[in-house]
Amino acid sequence: MNPLYIANYLIFSVFLTLLIMEIGAALLALLSYSNYREKLRRYLLPIWEVDGTFAAFYLVNFEATYPTLLGLAGTVYVLPLLLAGASFILRSVFLVYAEVIGAGKTEENYMKMYAVCTLVMSFFAISVFGSGLSGIGINVATNSADLLTLILSPLNLMLFLGIILIAAFLAINYFEVGGRLKRGTLAVSAAIILILVGILQYAPSLFAGIVTNIYLLAISLAILAAALVLQLKKNRYANHLSIIWLIVSINLLGIVGYPSIFGSQSILQYLASSAATLPLLIITTIGGAAVALSLAVLVYVSYIRKDPTY
C-alpha cells in the first residue's frame, strides 16, 4: 500500500472526525441549544477554527499527493464544493456573531443558523466523498457530471444520514444527553447498518473489500463495543475511545477500498511521482505533527486545565 495514500487518508480521517463531532454539536444546538448552551460554547468556541485548519491542511496535502486528480475534482465537483465552501463561510460568520452578541434569544438564533449552515456544508462535502467512492454522477472519461444524480444519489443520502446518526452518537455521549447509553447505541447501530447497506447496493467493489477483510470490520466493532462498555460503566474515557473508534474506522475504510476511486478507477494513476514520495512524506509528517501538537495544546488549555475532572 502506497505510503502517500496512507498519510493522506490519515489526515482525512482526523478532519472527517472533527467535522462529524461538529455536526453533532450543530444538531444539539439546533434542537436544544438553551439546555446545553454552556457545554456547546465550551466545546465550539475553542475548536471551531481547528476544523478549518485541518481542512486547509488536508487540501494542501491532497494537492501535493494527487496533483492530477485535483483538476478533475475541481471540474466535476465544482458546484457542490462551492456550495460547501459558501456554507462553511456562513457557518463561521454566524458562530462569531453568536459569540460576540451575548446571551439571549439573538444568540440562540445565530447558533441555530450556524447549525443549519454546518449541516448544509456537511451534506455537500459528503456528497463529494460518496461520489468519489462510487463514481455515481460523474463521467471520468469526459470530465463531466450529472449534478442532480451526484448530489442526490441514494448512496449519498444514506451516507449523510448514517454520518448524522454517528454525529448524534458522539454528541449524546460528549454532551451527556439523557439516556445516552440507549440512545447512543441505537444511533450508532442504525448508522453502521445504513452505511453498510448503502455500500452493498451502490458501491459493490468496496463492499467486496470489506467482506474480504472482514477482520478489519471486526476490529472496528470491537473498539466500538469497548467504548459502549465504558459508557455503561460511566467511565470518563468512553468518549475518548468513541473518537478513536471513528478515526480508526475511517482509516480501515480507506484500507479496504484501496486503491479504488470513482468505483472502478485506480487512485494510483493520480499519485505524485515516486521521486516526490519521500519529500512529501517528510513535509506531511512535520506539518501533521505541528497541527497535532497545536490541537493537543488547545485541548489541554481549553478543556483539561479548566476542568481537572475532564
Q: Give the global pTM.
A: 0.92
CATH class of 3-165+177-304: mainly alpha
Which pLDDT does position 152 carry in this prediction? 92
Average pLDDT over residues 54-77: 86
CB 213 within 8 A of CB 255: yes
pLDDT at 66: 92
Q: What pLDDT was estimated at residue 304?
A: 60
**Mean pLDDT computed over 145-172:** 94
The answer to whether 6 touches 259, Cβ cutoff 8 Å, is no
Give residues with Cβ within 8 angstroms of 213, minimum separation 6. 255, 256
Instruction: Give yes or no for residue 299 having a pLDDT over 70.
Output: no
pLDDT class for 307, splitting at 50, 70, 90?
A: low
Mean pLDDT of 12-17: 90
Render pLDDT for 265-276 as a digit per residue (tens, 0 to 9).
899 989 988 888
